[in-house]
């Protein structure tokens, strides 16, 4: 027997199954005599037991309310998770996306009765194309990686339509996100790794060497995962095009150049966005995201089916015979698209550029304020995020220690150990939503961690000190995985 205990206002909570008692109810359904309903199921198909919890509504509410207090959310504090663009999730988005007219709409509803959502999807397709400098858009992909998968599929369909079956490889810089090679592999492509140069960028001559008629595409993130803009982007895309390949743009970092420059103008042929990064839709603890893909004119016919088009005054779905196919059921994470649409309409042409301006300003300010003590391996051309590392840390304090020490100070840690080309990377992306005061406080914390690393390194190496969980044993977790709750064990 235990009382819940309290760590300040954080109440302890066990498994939802711990709250279960036979016969307890948390649901409420219309009265209906269901006594003989089971007879409608053939005997051998009738379920004999179902091991779900039996709790009251309050049990469930307490359970999830308490669990929520074990989480750090962006509404609570600064969340400079590099590459993830943890920007503010505007509350108006959450409100309008919950309108019943949107949520209740069934995907098989005849287009005539779904004009609101179709109009919105159509306009969003166009706005995303305009922002990126492209001709066509699909909203189908459910996340960034799904967008990559789709985009590479479009490229594949393009080559195949030209009966060019020799191209079996994709060039990817070593700084790329892991989803890039993985997405290519799912199409059966081999990955050719391009080593970054001493500035963390694509080396033109190295690229030239890799290019040949077996290369289907090059994938590129720009600004890249170091937050550094590939200044030779036009030369890169020209080289790739000259070799008969296409250029795929990973748009995870689009926040850096919104309204400032357009990938389409740089020679990128296909680009995915992460609406859950650049366009303010929530990350939700790991999704749902949305990863629309934009393409240049010649690729539009290969977009996955279906796409929304305008037919006179009406919005309808269109399918294309040459399409790469379907990449999921229905039309995408429409509920997420709604929020991105709302965000873009709020920003409008007047403010969209200010997003990039402020994001880039904030990142550069952090770099300028910390690079005297935290090493920046690739300091040139930083846009929206900056990558420090632990190479100048005293007393063997590591990146992991720094991350955990930031927790003690009230921050979500930056992305760590990525990109792989920076040893002990600490990737800080403040976004445009943070104020100078909040950024200054973060800088202060980082400097204090550095000082403590000199004077009291144990304090940093043992961090986090204030959380009720500290440094879980991940090795055992992976060696002997426990992936479900044993509901018959006594806890």
Partner 1 sequence: MRYLPVTDQERKEMLEKIGINSVDELFSPIPEKVLLKNQLNLPTAMSEMELDSLMSELAEMNTGSKMSNFQGGGCYAHYAPAAIDQMLLRSEFYTAYTPYQPEISQGTLQSIFEFQTMISKLMKMDVTNASMYDGATAAAEAVIMASKINGKRKKAVIAGTVHPHYIKTIRTYAANIIEEIEILDIDATTGTIKESELSKIDENTICVLFQYPNYFGSMENVFKISEIAKANKALVIAAVTEMTMLGAMIAPGDFGADIAIGEAQSLGLAPNFGGPGLGTFSAAEKHIRKMPGRLVGKTVDKKGKECFVLTLAAREQHIKREKATSNICSNQGLMTLAVGMYLSIMGKNGLKDVALMNLKRKEYMLNKIVAETKAVKAFSASSYNEFTILLPQNAKQVADKMAEKGILAGISLSKYFPELNNALTVTVTELNSYEEIDSYVKTLAEIIGG
Binding site for ligand PLP (CB under 6 A): 83-84, 143-145, 177, 179, 221, 225, 250, 252, 274, 289, 291
According to DSSP, residue 45 is labeled G
Is the alpha carbon torsion for 417, 419, 423, 424 positive or negative? negative
- Burial class, 11, CB count within 10 angstroms (exposed 0-12 / middle 13-18 / buried 19+): middle
**Which residues, numbered 147-176, are part of the site for partner 1 (CB under 8 A)?**
148-149, 153, 156
> Which of 354, 377, 398, 457 contacts partner 1 by CB under 8 A?
354
Contact 294/264 with Cβ under 8 angstroms?
yes
Which residues, 6 or more positions from 383, have their beta carbon under 8 angstroms from its beta carbon?
A: 223, 227, 228, 229, 253, 256, 257, 359, 360, 363
Any contact of residue 408 with its own copies (CB under 8 A)? yes
Which of ligand PLP, partner 1, its own copies, none sits in contact with 12, Cβ below 5 to 8 A by type? its own copies
Any contact of residue 66 with its own copies (CB under 8 A)? yes
Q: Which is nearer to partner 1, 219 or 243 (CB)?
A: 219
Instruction: Please provide the distance, in angstroms rounded to a whole number, between the alpha carbons at the two ends of the chain.
Output: 11
> Which of 76, 162, 164, 314 contacts partner 1 by CB under 8 A?
76
Q: Which is nearer to ligand PLP, 53 or 289 (CB)?
A: 289
Entry field: residues in the chain: 491
> Which of 214, 354, 377, 440 contacts its own copies by CB under 8 A?
440
Any contact of residue 247 with partner 1 (CB under 8 A)? no
> Which of 16, 17, 88, 485 contacts its own copies by CB under 8 A?
88
Nearest Cα to Cα of residue 273 among 251, 256, 257, 294? 251
Which of partner 1, its own copies, ligand PLP, none sits in contact with 7, Cβ below 5 to 8 A by type? its own copies
Which of ligand PLP, partner 1, its own copies, none sits in contact with 199, Cβ below 5 to 8 A by type? none
Q: For the range 320-329, what are the long-range contacts, defined as Cβ-Cβ under 8 Å and sequence gap of 24 or more?
A: 322/157, 322/161, 323/157, 324/150, 324/153, 324/154, 324/156, 324/157, 325/153, 326/140, 327/140, 327/141, 327/146, 327/149, 327/150, 327/153, 328/140, 328/141, 328/142, 328/146
Question: Shortest Cβ distance from residue 375 to partner 1 (Å)?
Answer: 18
Question: Shortest Cβ distance from residue 236 to partner 1 (Å)?
Answer: 11
Question: Shortest Cβ distance from residue 351 to partner 1 (Å)?
Answer: 5
Which residues, 6 or more positions from 482, have their beta carbon under 8 angstroms from its beta carbon?
A: none
In 103-161, the DSSP E strands lie at 136-138
Any contact of residue 197 with its own copies (CB under 8 A)? no
> Which of 51, 198, 313, 458 contacts partner 1 by CB under 8 A?
51
Any contact of residue 317 with its own copies (CB under 8 A)? no
Any contact of residue 19 with its own copies (CB under 8 A)? yes
Residue 227 has phi, psi (to 5 degrees) of: 80, 10
Q: Count Cβ atoms below 10 Å from residue 294 Cβ, excluding itself.
A: 32
Any contact of residue 81 with partner 1 (CB under 8 A)? yes
Instruction: Report the interface residues with its own copies, using CB under 8 A.
Output: 1-12, 19, 21, 24, 28, 56-59, 61-62, 65-66, 69-73, 75-77, 88, 90-91, 346, 407-411, 433-437, 440-442, 444-445, 448, 466-468
């Amino acid at each position: 027997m235990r009382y819940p205990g309290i760590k300040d206002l954080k109440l302890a909570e066990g498994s939802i199954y711990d709250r279960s008692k036979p016969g307890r109810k948390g649901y409420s359904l219309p009265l209906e005599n269901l006594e003989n309903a089971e007879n409608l199921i053939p005997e051998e198909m009738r379920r004999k037991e179902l091991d779900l919890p039996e709790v009251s509504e309050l049990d469930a509410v307490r359970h999830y309310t308490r669990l929520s207090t074990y989480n750090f959310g962006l509404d609570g504090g600064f969340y400079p998770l590099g590459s993830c663009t943890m920007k503010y999730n505007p509350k108006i988005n959450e409100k309008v996306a919950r309108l019943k007219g949107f949520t209740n709409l069934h995907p098989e509803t005849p287009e005539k009765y779904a004009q609101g959502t179709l109009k919105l999807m159509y306009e969003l397709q166009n706005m995303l194309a305009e922002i990126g400098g492209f001709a066509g858009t699909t909203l189908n992909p459910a996340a960034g990686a799904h967008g990559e998968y789709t985009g590479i599929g479009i490229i594949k369909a393009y080559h195949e339509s030209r009966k060019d079956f020799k191209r079996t490889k994709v060039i990817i810089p070593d700084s790329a996100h892991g989803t890039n090679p993985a997405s290519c592999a799912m199409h059966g492509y081999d990955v050719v790794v391009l080593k970054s140069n001493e500035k963390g960028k694509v080396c033109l001559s190295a690229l030239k060497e890799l290019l040949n008629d077996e290369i289907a595409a090059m994938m590129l993130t720009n600004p890249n995962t170091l937050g550094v803009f590939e200044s030779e982007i036009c030369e890169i895309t020209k080289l790739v095009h000259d070799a008969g390949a296409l250029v795929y743009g990973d748009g995870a970092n689009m926040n850096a150049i919104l309204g400032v420059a357009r990938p389409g103008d740089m020679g990128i042929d296909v680009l995915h966005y992460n609406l859950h990064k650049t366009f303010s839709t929530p990350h939700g603890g790991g999704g749902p995201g949305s990863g629309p893909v934009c393409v240049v004119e010649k690729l539009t016919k290969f977009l996955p089916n279906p796409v929304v088009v305008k037919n006179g005054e009406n919005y309808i779905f269109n399918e294309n015979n040459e399409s790469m196919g379907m990449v999921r059921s229905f039309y995408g994470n429409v509920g997420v698209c709604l929020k991105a649409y709302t965000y873009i309409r709020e920003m409008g042409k007047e403010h969209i550029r200010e997003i990039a301006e402020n994001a880039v300003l904030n990142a550069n300010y952090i770099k300028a304020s910390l690079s005297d003590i935290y090493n920046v391996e690739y300091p040139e051309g930083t846009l929206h995020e900056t990558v420090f590392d632990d190479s100048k840390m005293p007393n063997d304090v590591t990146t992991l220690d720094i991350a955990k020490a930031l927790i003690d100070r009230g921050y979500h840690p930056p992305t760590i150990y990525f990109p792989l080309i920076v040893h002990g990377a600490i990737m800080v992306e403040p976004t445009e939503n943070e104020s100078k005061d909040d950024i200054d406080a973060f800088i202060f914390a980082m400097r204090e961690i550095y000082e403590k690393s000199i004077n009291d390194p144990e304090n940093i190496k043992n961090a986090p000190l204030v959380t009720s969980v500290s440094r879980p044993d991940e090795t055992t977790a992976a060696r002997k995985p426990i992936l479900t709750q044993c509901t018959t064990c006594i806890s």
